Structure 1
Amino acid sequence: MSNNPLQTNNITKCFAKTCRSTLCQTPPVKGKKRCRMHYGAKGIGTPKGSQNAFKHGRYSRETIANRKETVMLIRQFRALLREISLI
């Protein structure tokens, strides 16, 4: 091993896919697999519980539960209609 700081034989590359569909050649952040521009740095991303990306709530827990309950009620109603018409 040499003491040359420019020698990068043991440094891996980020290899994340860039916008141009090529591989990133930047070295990763220490202790991470990606470079600072590809979410390797600490503190990257939105804080927990951020509502900035909330658009419509179609996939929120509450909406999914309401849809499941509605489907169940429709199935029960159809079964009841089948029973009534057969009697």
Structure 2
Amino acid sequence: MLNSQRCGARTRGGTGCRSPAVSGKKRCRMHGGAKGSGAPTNNQNALKHGFYTRDAIKERRYFSDLLRESLATLREFD
């Protein structure tokens, strides 16, 4: 027990956690090393709206460029 790897978490006091890490992990059972801790893979609960996805940003840029070009063309006719 004394030779086992220690948890890498920091306490509120700024010192390191002195509990042993769970085997195969870098954290103790209290700081996220326990089985089942953490978010599941492909966590759909974290996806809120998709406003900042690569496709959404690309689409917004395309439409803003199209609008800018359309307004420039309309100004030429005035």
Instruction: Give the match's secondary structure for 1:37.
Output: coil
Distance in 1 (alpha carbons) for counterparts of 2:34 and 2:71: 60
Q: TM-score, normalised by structure 2?
A: 0.64
Partner of 2:4: 11
Partner of 2:60: 70
State the Cα deviation string for residues 17-76 of structure 1 (Å, max 9, x = none): 12333210111112222111111122112434352x56xx24x2xx33345323311211
Instruction: Give the match's secondary structure for 1:31.
Output: coil
When residues 29 and 68 of structure 1 are mapped into structure 2, their CA distance, relative to the original with a 3 A threshold, is: same
Partner of 1:83: 73
Instruction: Give the match's secondary structure for 2:30.
Output: helix
Unmatched segments (≥5 aa) in structure 2: none
What percentage of residue pairs aligned between the two structures are identical?
A: 36
How many residue pairs align between the two structures? 74
2:19 equivalent to 1:29 = no
> What is the CA RMSD across the aligned residues, in angstroms?
2.6
Unmatched segments (≥5 aa) in structure 1: 1-5
Structure possessing the higher relative contact order (Cα contacts under 8 Å, 6 or more residues apart): 2
Distance in 1 (alpha carbons) for counterparts of 2:59 and 2:25: 44
Q: TM-score, normalised by structure 1?
A: 0.60
Distance in 1 (alpha carbons) for counterparts of 2:25 and 2:68: 56
- The structure number with the bigger radius of gyration is 1
